[in-house]
Amino acid sequence: MKPQQKKKLEFLVFLVTTIVLFESWSIVNSDLTSDRIALEALRKAVGGRSLLWNISNGNPCTWVGVFCERNRVVELRLPAMGLSGRLPLGLGNLTELQSLSLRFNALSGPIPADIGNLASLRNLYLQGNLFSGEIPEFLFNLQNLIRLNLAHNKFSGVISPSFNKLTRLGTLYLEENQLNGSIPELNLNSLDQFNVSFNNLSGPIPEKLSGKPANSFLGNTLCGKPLIPCNGTSSGGDDDDDNKLSGGAIAGIVIGCVIGLLLILLILIFLCRKKRTKEGGVKDTGEPKHGEAEIPREKAVAQSGGNVSTGFAGTVTSAVAKGEAKSSGAKSLVFFGNTPRVFDLEDLLRASAEVLGKGTFGTTYKATLEMGVAVAVKRLKDVTVSEREFREKIEAVGKINHENLVPLRGYYYNKDEKLLVYDYMPMGSLSALLHGNRGAGRTPLNWETRSSIALGAARAVAHLHSQGQATSHGNIKSSNILLTTSFEARVSDFGLAHLAGPTPTPNRIDGYRAPEVTDARKVSQKADVYSFGILLLELLTGKAPTHSHLNDEGVDLPRWVQSVVKDEWTSEVFDLELLRYQNVEDEMVQLLQLAINCTAQYPDNRPSMAEVKNQIEELCRSSSQDTRLDVEDDKSSQQTFSVHSGAPSST
């Protein structure tokens, strides 16, 4: 080949390559432009809190909640953004979209038809909105759909059997809508999570769904497994025979009941004899040996590992040793309601004691009675009210009952000692759980546990506030959130602020006190909300308010959080232990926003505790029912998410 011909050939190859590359770039750019137009149409259509998108930046991949791959939008996540109005046509142009999350907004109307064009869509989360109309048929064209959540909307009509077209569907949540008719036969082998509770459904539950939990079907007029049988017959066929007790089983039950009655009689006889013996022993004319109540220091150290009560038993004894306990005008423990009277003041004085903590209103001890029962006893300090007022206020506290409050079982009052007796919570406080051990042996505190604790505490405080406008907790902090063995929250120290003396210069060191509070005895419900917001920030950040100062600048916890999220939401806010739970990032952000709202500077700008409780309930319901993305579907499991900073950055 001649040199001149060779040069012409090389030029032609270069020209063709350039044209191909230019056309490829044009196609890609055109696709991203189409994605941008669709997103701009969404931004224009929805109201509420404006989407913080820099429209002047031509690349939508840098916008909040927009995630891209290969220069195409593949995820759009805008949960709890305050969006309202109707979704516009145009989202169907996001042809590479794999996940769409618009949950917990105020979007209404029907789902736009072109959503059915999103052939790559795997996850669709629309729960917690106001969507209405029938579930559209075009959704059943989304053959790659794995998770579909339409819960907490206003969808009506029947559940279509066309759901069977979604052969990859693993999650289907339709609860709390207005659906009617029966549940169709769903032959979806991959369906793992299913819920149709609180609709207007009726008829039998299909056999293939009978293995789902009963709470998946509550709030309807359905029958069959796992609910009550239909027409008085079991939906399980041969199960009727299984449910019938054999003669041997019946005989065993009868024998067991007889033995149980005999044991009860023996226990009653034993207790009666013990009572008589005790009453006979009162004839002793010598001085009561109150020294028995004191704990030798060596024994106390061994029992408590150094956290010793050096004065509980002894001090109580000295206060009662004047003869009050056994004189004709004796003052004894006063118990509330149906609390079992299994011990008295003398038993309490003989108990071994261990210091649990020193708080705002006094020192709390673990008192282990001789019978092996453990109770928590708080020795109040700086009580300034009269005996009559004390008894009135404490008895009002004793009447408050809620499953997330530590019940006040009884009290003792005399001039020198005021004792409160509570149930003992073996797992200690939330403060100890969060901050007690950050070493190598620590078990990470996951999102489910933290959100559950937040919900339990919110329910308790909301219940207190429901008792009347004048009822508040007055001392909400993590050391007053105690835990059961299953890590359920129990709020303590409620109702004690009104017993304390005046504090003209309130102590703000603990970081929980609202800025408007000037007297610890006068804490409003909105001030409680502020303290609860600090508690939520503590749960999310892992930072105690007393140790939240950064670079010795004295910045308190809410100010630090707000300074971090002022320009963009980043993972820097959250406790490192939470960052491993990438699939709950939306819930974490929602709870963070709620905490910020609670810690607003002005009381009127804070939500009520009832609103706080409701929002956390919605959040926890979403967290427990919503997506647990598979490894192949959840890119965020390999990425450190950035809440308000566009695409996640790789770890």
| pLDDT at residue 128, as a whole number | 86
Q: Which residue has the tokens 């450190």?
A: 640
Average pLDDT, the chain: 76
Q: Give pTM, 2 decimals.
A: 0.51
Residues 170, 194 contacting (CB under 8 angstroms): no
CA 60 to chain centre: 34
Q: 144 vs 485, which has greater pLDDT?
A: 144
Q: 610 vs 282, which has greater pLDDT?
A: 610
Give the tokens for residue 293.
């109540």
Give the tokens for residue 332.
């004894």
Query: From the DSSP assignment, how many helices (H) and strands (E) are in the chain?
Result: 13, 24
Q: 20 vs 91, which has greater pLDDT?
A: 91
| pLDDT at residue 285, as a whole number | 31
Q: Any idea what the Cα angle at residue 493 is, between residues 428 and 464, rounded to 5°?
A: 115
- pLDDT tens string 300-345: 333 333 444 443 455 454 444 444 444 334 467 788 766 666 677 7
Q: Which residues pair with 203 in a beta bridge?
A: 222
Neighbours of 530 (CB within 10 A): 25
Q: Is 10 exposed, middle or buried, given 0-12, 13-18 or 19+ CB atoms closer than 10 A?
A: exposed
Give the tokens for residue 237.
């066929």
| pLDDT at residue 350, as a whole number | 78
pLDDT of residue 650 exceeding 50, the answer is no
Q: Is 597 exposed, middle or buried, given 0-12, 13-18 or 19+ CB atoms closer than 10 A?
A: middle
Q: Any idea what the Cα angle at residue 617 is, between residues 575 and 607, rounded to 5°?
A: 85
| pLDDT at residue 552, as a whole number | 38
316 closest CA partner among 193, 413, 459, 198? 413
| pLDDT at residue 646, as a whole number | 32
Q: Which residue has the tokens 């009447």?
A: 399
Instruction: Work out the average pLDDT over 618-622.
Output: 81
Q: Any idea what the Cα angle at residue 273 is, between residues 269 and 274, rounded to 5°?
A: 115
Q: 27 vs 538, which has greater pLDDT?
A: 538
CA 546 to chain centre: 23
| pLDDT at residue 246, as a whole number | 58
Instruction: Work out the average pLDDT over 184-200.
Output: 92
- pLDDT tens string 114-150: 999 999 999 999 988 999 999 999 999 999 999 999 9
Residues 570, 564 contacting (CB under 8 angstroms): yes
Give the tokens for residue 273.
């004899």
Give the tokens for residue 65.
């909640």
Q: In which band, very low, low, confident or very high, does the pLDDT at 296 lie, cut at 50, 70 and 90? A: very low
Q: Which residue has the tokens 């937040």?
A: 454
Q: 377 vs 553, which has greater pLDDT?
A: 377
| pLDDT at residue 634, as a whole number | 38
Letter string b/e over residues 203-239, b meaning 16 or more CB atoms within 10 A of that residue's CB? ebbeeebeebeeebbeebebbbbbbebeeeebbeeee
- pLDDT tens string 378-430: 888 777 778 888 888 888 888 888 899 988 888 888 877 888 888 888 888 89
Contacts of 67 (CB under 8 A, 6+ apart): 61, 73, 74, 75, 76, 77, 635, 646, 647, 648
Among the listed ranges 109-113, 178-182, 191-195, 465-469, which one has the minimum average pLDDT value?
A: 465-469
The shares of helix, strand and coil residues in the chain, as percent rounded to the nearest 5, are 40, 15, 45
φ/ψ (deg, to 5) at 496: -95, -15
State the DSSP H helix or E strand holding residue 194, giving kind and residue range, or none if neither.
strand 193-195
pLDDT of residue 448 exceeding 90, the answer is no
pLDDT of residue 220 exceeding 90, the answer is yes
Cα separation, 153 vs 109, whole angstroms: 10
Q: Which residue has the tokens 């239909």?
A: 230
Among the listed ranges 108-122, 223-237, 402-416, 475-489, which one has the minimum average pLDDT value?
A: 223-237
State the DSSP H helix or E strand holding residue 252, giving kind and residue range, or none if neither.
helix 247-280
Q: In which band, very low, low, confident or very high, does the pLDDT at 202 lie, cut at 50, 70 and 90? A: very high
